[in-house]
């Protein structure tokens, strides 16, 4: 009987781990969209994952696995599915990280802007909320 509780707890940890990998893959995808994945963007991704519950000890493993998944994928839908199921505050963390990645080079190109328009719909977020986060990030640059 006690094994049932232990198994549920382990299943939850595995689920959270896989969720973080998908979120990291989405963030990595946005960082690579301009074909210039920088160390600054990698640090933004790490910060967002830690805010969402990743441990410092396994953050590099999560990012490495996410890079592989992102490279092997040809669409973002599998990554957005995990984010879509998060609460609004967690979605805002992801959106903020995405905008920070996009503006890390102080420029949002047409592909990055298009990605964000698509993501606001895929993540069921109000475009105004996404726009407000964008303006906050732009003003802090």
CATH number of the domain where residue 23 is located: 1.10.3680.10
Structural domain count of the chain: 1
pLDDT in tens, 72-112: 988 888 889 888 888 999 999 999 999 999 999 888 889 99
| Angstrom distance (rounded) from CA 114 to CA 105 | 17
54: which residues sit within 8 A by CB, 6+ positions away?
A: 20, 62
pLDDT tens digits, one per residue of 62-80: 999 999 999 998 888 888 9
Domain enclosing residue 6, as ranges: 2-139
């Amino acid at each position: 009987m006690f094994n049932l509780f232990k198994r549920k707890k382990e299943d939850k940890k595995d689920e959270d781990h896989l969720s973080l990998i998908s979120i990291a893959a989405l963030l990595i995808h946005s960082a690579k969209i301009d074909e210039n994945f920088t160390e600054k963007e990698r640090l933004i991704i790490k910060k967002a994952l830690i805010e969402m519950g990743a441990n410092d000890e396994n953050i590099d493993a999560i990012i490495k696995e996410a890079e592989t998944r992102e490279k092997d994928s040809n669409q973002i839908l599998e990554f957005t599915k995990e984010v879509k199921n998060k609460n609004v505050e967690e979605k805002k963390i992801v959106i903020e990280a995405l905008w920070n990645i996009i503006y890390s080079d102080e420029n949002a190109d047409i592909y990055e802007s298009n990605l964000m328009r698509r993501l606001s719909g895929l993540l069921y977020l109000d475009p105004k909320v996404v726009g407000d986060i964008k303006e906050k990030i732009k003003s802090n640059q």
